[in-house]
């Protein structure tokens, strides 16, 4: 027997053994009910994808609300800084150029320090608003991560579905108990308050 | 290059939140002339139609991504001179090398601060105007 034939025989033996191991595994898994497990896993994957996408939508909405508010507030603060500085300057010029009656001098200096404080506070407010705006960048990062995970689970889902189709030709029954602690529901699965109310009414509440 | 405040920026990012943040930051830095694009294809169309002075682009986008946009910009004689700053969450060594090799003007990793954006833009413009 030459060397090549020997190698071929050895490979054949290896494949035979692998084949029989896979068959055993297949039988064992079927006995353990793997079709049901796979089927449930598949459904859970789909549901987690919906939940992840829902998180992405909610966070995007929240970030946009914050950005809208910030967009409205920043110009107001900018305007406030400009106007209070302008008024402070005019008071300053008047104080330097004309004699202020004694009875007004206290009011004048209080007004001046107040408008200066307004300018400073508005400047500080602008800085904080910019910080609030910058903090919304989390949405871009979390959104990208969620998108990646959803793509990954979609691939996994396709693979699992293929395994199910290949090895479990009979449809697995779907009478699975409803999970009462499934957590916040995704809108298209969730009931609107109106639906809830009418259901409550039906139930006699 | 145009006067600082007249400079026209193109912000390219698939996330509207990020486009808004960058637009506001640019405004705060005194750059009021800002346009936006959702991906590389839209950006190229705008770059070919209007005159821009500066591109700020994300990397990971559907359609044409930021690196492809960078390559397309550098390959086009009409656009190749434009400064292009990458602002991206892709932060591996290989990313930065690839962007540098493709001709990125600079690279900012998300999440970033207003100060970083200011510093990078100033530096790019100093170099560009030399």
Question: Model-level pTM?
Answer: 0.72
Angstrom distance (rounded) from CA B83 to CA B104: 8
Residue B17 in contact with partner chain A when CB distance is under 8 A: yes
A1-32, pLDDT tens digit by residue? 578 888 888 888 888 888 888 878 777 777 77
Going by pLDDT thresholds of 50, 70 and 90, the confidence category of residue A46 is: confident
Tokens of B103: 């001709």
Residue B92 is classified by DSSP as -
Chain A contacts of B21, Cβ < 8 Å? 67, 133-134, 136-137
* Confidence (pLDDT) at B41: 97
Contact pairs from chain A to chain B, CB under 8 Å: 51
Overall average pLDDT of the A155-172 stretch: 74
Residue B32 in contact with partner chain A when CB distance is under 8 A: no
Chain A contacts of B32, Cβ < 8 Å? none
Distance from CA of B44 to the nearest CA of A (A): 22
| Cβ-based neighbours of A122, under 8 Å, separated by 6 or more | A77, A78, A80, A81, A84
Q: Identify the closest residue of chain A to B13 by CA–CA distance.
A: A140
ipTM of the predicted structure? 0.78
Q: Residue B36: beta bridge partners? A: B11
Who among A60, A74, A130 is closest to B17 (CB)? A60
Residue of higher predicted confidence among A81 and B92: A81
Residue B112 in contact with partner chain A when CB distance is under 8 A: yes
CB contact under 8 A, B17 and A144: no
Distance from CA of A63 to the nearest CA of B (A): 7
Phi and psi at A82, nearest 5°, equal -60, -50
CB contact under 8 A, A67 and B17: yes
B31-69, pLDDT tens digit by residue? 999 999 999 999 999 999 999 999 999 999 999 999 999
**Pairing mode, if any, of strands B33-37 and B54-57?**
unpaired
């Amino acid at each position: 027997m030459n060397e090549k034939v020997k190698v071929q025989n050895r490979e054949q033996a290896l494949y035979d053994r692998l084949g029989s191991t896979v068959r055993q595994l297949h039988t064992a898994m079927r006995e353990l009910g793997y079709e049901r497990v796979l089927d449930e896993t598949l459904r859970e994957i789909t549901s987690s994808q919906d939940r992840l996408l829902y998180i992405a939508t909610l966070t995007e909405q929240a970030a946009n609300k914050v950005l809208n508010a910030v967009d409205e507030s920043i110009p107001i603060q900018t305007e406030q800084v400009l106007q209070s500085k302008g008024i402070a300057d005019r008071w300053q010029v008047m104080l330097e150029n004309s004699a202020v009656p004694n009875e007004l001098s206290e009011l004048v200096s209080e007004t001046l320090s107040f408008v200066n404080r307004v300018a400073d506070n508005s400047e500080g407010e602008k800085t904080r608003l910019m910080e609030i705006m910058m903090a919304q960048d989390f949405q871009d990062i979390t959104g990208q991560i969620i998108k990646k995970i959803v793509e990954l689970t979609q691939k996994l889902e396709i693979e699992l579905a293929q395994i199910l189709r290949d090895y479990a030709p009979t449809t697995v029954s779907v009478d699975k108990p409803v999970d009462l602690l499934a957590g916040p529901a995704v809108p298209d699965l969730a009931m609107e308050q109106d639906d809830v109310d009418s259901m409550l009414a039906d139930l006699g509440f | 290059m145009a006067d600082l405040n007249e400079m026209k920026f193109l912000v390219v990012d698939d996330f509207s939140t990020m486009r808004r943040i960058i637009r506001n930051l640019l405004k705060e830095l005194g750059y009021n002339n800002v346009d936006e694009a959702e991906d590389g294809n839209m950006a190229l169309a705008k770059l070919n139609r209007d005159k821009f002075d500066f591109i700020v682009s994300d990397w990971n986008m559907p359609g044409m991504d930021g690196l492809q946009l960078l390559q397309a910009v550098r390959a086009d004689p009409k656009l190749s001179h434009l400064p292009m700053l990458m602002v991206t969450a892709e932060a591996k060594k290989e990313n930065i090398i690839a962007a540098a090799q493709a001709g990125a003007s600079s690279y900012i990793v998300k999440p970033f601060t207003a100060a970083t954006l200011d510093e990078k833009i100033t530096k790019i413009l100093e170099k560009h105007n030399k």
